[in-house]
């Protein structure tokens, strides 16, 4: 890109003509300065001449010069000090030192001061003009180089800014992908867990076996925990269906469970969300029970609903020193739906298996098979 811009600049220069050099002549014979300035102006260069060190500094403060013709012996200072000043402040400006004598030490010191050329004053004006144009070409080359460097620096800054933006976007994308992967992993884990749990429960068609299998699987997910399951009867009165005693005193567990049944079940029967309390006093206040029964315990309670009906209520609690994992809520939410579904099927099977009196027939005994009775083999009996 920089090469193409340089080509465009050079093409434009070729069309409009060479750019004139700005030349400052400092010191030397006044007539020589005037004649040299006249020659440079004839060659379309812009020249200015001064005699003193302070006049040269003032001129350099007002304008930027391409080439400086400098005599080392000035009326008010050392011309080589000015050469060093110019070389430090504007390295692209080229200095040519001219002297009346051919002094090798002066030439060496001039080059050390940053001058690009050394010439005797006795050389012809055409020689001076040629040396000026050579120095001017070096000045133009250095300025083009500096312009390219500045453009490259600007492009590097822009590229670095773009790189940082892309890096931030990549980091964000990687984090999003990691979160999505973790979510997918969690979902796949939940799907596998749900499939495993559903397979286990489908084998249980007895309520006691169903409760036992459920509590065993649940405790495998929660770790050692006190757990109780309360089941409703036909009048929606709850009683203890099964429990696991992890660390409760044996002499108080019955009273605690009975108290929990009467306090928790009426409130949880219509609750669709999981209820969790890390503060036992807050839980006791919400339930309206004695806080001392569950002192220093974390409590989780949830209802298992199937087709809009509450079929069971679970209560889990254990000491705050071993709190439940935050991810347990999602696990319980999956397991309780599967348990409620299977419990609903088991209850439906038990209900169908219960003997019922047939309703009175309208037209004799043509449809006795519809009343839960079966006939065959010359005898009758209740279909189990």
Q: Could you tell me the CATH number of the domain that includes residue 295? A: 3.30.450.40
Q: Are residues 138 and 227 both part of a single domain?
A: no
Cβ atoms of 222 and 188 within 8 Å: the answer is no
pLDDT of amino acid 280:
67
Distance CA 323, CA 158 (A): 52
Distance CA 328, CA 212 (A): 20
Strand 46-50 and strand 67-70: the pairing is: unpaired
The whole-number average pLDDT for the span 61-78 is: 91
Model confidence at 364, pLDDT cuts 50, 70, 90, reads very low
pLDDT of amino acid 12:
42
- Which of 133, 155, 177 terminates a domain? The answer is 155
The whole-number average pLDDT for the span 188-201 is: 89
Distance CA 332, CA 313 (A): 12
Residue 15 pLDDT exceeds 60? no
pLDDT of amino acid 359:
52
CA distances from 260 to 276, 291, 360 (A): 15, 11, 45
pLDDT of amino acid 4:
47
Establish if 381 belongs to a structural domain.
no
pLDDT of amino acid 227:
92
Q: Are residues 252 and 107 both part of a single domain?
A: no
Cβ atoms of 333 and 304 within 8 Å: the answer is no
DSSP string computed for 321-378: TSPPPTTHHHHHHHHHHHHHHHHHHHHHHHHHHS--PPPPPSSSSTTGGGGTEEEETT
Q: What are the backbone angles phi and psi of residue 68, rounded to the nearest 5°?
A: -120, 125
Cβ atoms of 314 and 211 within 8 Å: the answer is no
How confident is the prediction for the chain on average, in pLDDT? 82
Q: What DSSP designation does 223 have?
A: -
Name which residue leads in pLDDT, 31 or 351.
Answer: 31
pLDDT of amino acid 377:
38
Residue 9 pLDDT exceeds 60? no
pLDDT of amino acid 290:
61
Q: 67: which strand partners?
A: 23, 94
pLDDT digits (tens, 9 = 90+) for 116-170: 999 998 888 999 999 999 999 999 999 999 999 999 999 999 999 999 999 999 9
Distance CA 295, CA 290 (A): 9
Q: Are residues 139 and 211 both part of a single domain?
A: no
- Which of 155, 181, 215 terminates a domain? The answer is 155
Q: In the chain, pLDDT over 90 holds for what percent of residues?
A: 39
Residue 327 pLDDT exceeds 90? no
Q: Are residues 145 and 274 both part of a single domain?
A: no
- Where does residue 18 rank: exposed (0-12), middle (13-18), buried (19+ CB within 10 A)? middle
For 49, the domain range is 2-155
Q: Are residues 139 and 53 both part of a single domain?
A: yes
Establish if 310 belongs to a structural domain.
yes
Q: Coil, strand or helix: which one is 243?
A: strand
Q: Are residues 212 and 137 both part of a single domain?
A: no
Q: Could you tell me the CATH number of the domain that includes residue 126? A: 3.40.50.2300
Element (H, E) at 296: none
Q: In what order do the strands lie in the sheet with 22-26?
A: 46-50, 22-26, 67-70, 94-99, 117-120
Q: Which of 180-184, 226-230, 335-339, 366-370 has the lowest mean pLDDT?
A: 366-370
pLDDT of amino acid 351:
65
Q: Are residues 270 and 213 both part of a single domain?
A: yes
Q: Which of 87-101, 220-234, 241-255 has the lowest mean pLDDT?
A: 241-255
- Which of 120, 155, 190 terminates a domain? The answer is 155
pLDDT of amino acid 376:
38
Spatial neighbors of 51 by CB under 8 A, at least 6 apart, are 26, 27, 30, 33, 74, 75
The whole-number average pLDDT for the span 63-74 is: 92
pLDDT of amino acid 18:
64
The whole-number average pLDDT for the span 339-368 is: 64
**CA angle 37–42–46, rounded 5-degree value:** 55
Q: What DSSP designation does 294 have?
A: G
Q: 276: which strand partners?
A: 300
Establish if 160 belongs to a structural domain.
no
Strand boundaries in 245-292, DSSP class E: 275-277
| Number of domains the chain is built from | 2
Match 């509590």 to its residue by tokens. Answer: 215
Establish if 269 belongs to a structural domain.
yes
The whole-number average pLDDT for the span 169-178 is: 90
């Amino acid at each position: 890109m920089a090469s193409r811009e340089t080509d465009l600049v050079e093409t434009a220069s070729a069309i409009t003509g060479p750019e004139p050099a700005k030349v400052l002549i400092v010191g030397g014979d006044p007539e020589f300065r005037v004649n040299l300035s006249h020659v440079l102006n004839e060659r379309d260069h812009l020249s200015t001449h001064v005699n003193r060190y302070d006049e040269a500094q003032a001129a350099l403060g007002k304008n930027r010069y391409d080439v400086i013709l400098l005599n080392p012996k000035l009326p008010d200072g050392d011309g080589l000090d000015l050469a060093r000043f110019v070389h430090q402040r504007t390295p692209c400006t080229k200095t040519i030192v001219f002297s009346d004598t051919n002094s090798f030490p002066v030439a060496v010191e001039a080059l050390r001061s940053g001058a690009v050329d050394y010439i005797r004053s006795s050389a012809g004006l055409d020689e001076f003009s040629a040396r000026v144009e050579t120095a001017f070409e070096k000045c133009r080359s250095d300025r083009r180089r500096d312009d390219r460097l500045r453009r490259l620096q600007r492009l590097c800054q822009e590229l670095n800014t773009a790189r940082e933006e892309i890096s931030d976007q990549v980091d964000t994308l990687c984090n999003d992908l990691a979160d999505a992967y973790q979510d997918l992993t969690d979902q796949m884990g939940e799907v596998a867990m749900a499939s495993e749990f559903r397979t286990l429960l489908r084998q249980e068609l007895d309520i006691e076996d169903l409760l036992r299998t459920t509590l065993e699987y649940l405790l495998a997910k929660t770790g050692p925990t006190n757990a109780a399951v309360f089941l409703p009867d036909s009048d929606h009165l709850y009683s203890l269906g099964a429990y696991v005693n992890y660390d409760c005193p044996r002499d108080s567990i019955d009273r605690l469970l009975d108290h929990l049944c009467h306090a928790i079940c009426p409130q949880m029967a219509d609750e669709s969300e999981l209820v969790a309390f890390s503060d036992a006093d807050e839980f006791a206040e919400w339930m309206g029970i004695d806080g001392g029964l569950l002192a220093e315990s974390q409590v989780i309670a949830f209802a298992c609903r199937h087709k809009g009906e509450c079929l069971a209520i679970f209560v889990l609690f254990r000491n705050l020193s071993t709190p439940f994992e935050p991810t347990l809520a999602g696990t319980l939410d999956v397991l309780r739906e599967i348990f409620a579904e299977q419990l609903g099927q088991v209850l439906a099977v038990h209900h169908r298996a219960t003997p019922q009196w047939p309703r009175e027939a309208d037209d004799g005994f043509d449809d006795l098979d519809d009343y839960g009775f079966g006939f065959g083999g010359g005898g009758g009996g209740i279909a189990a």
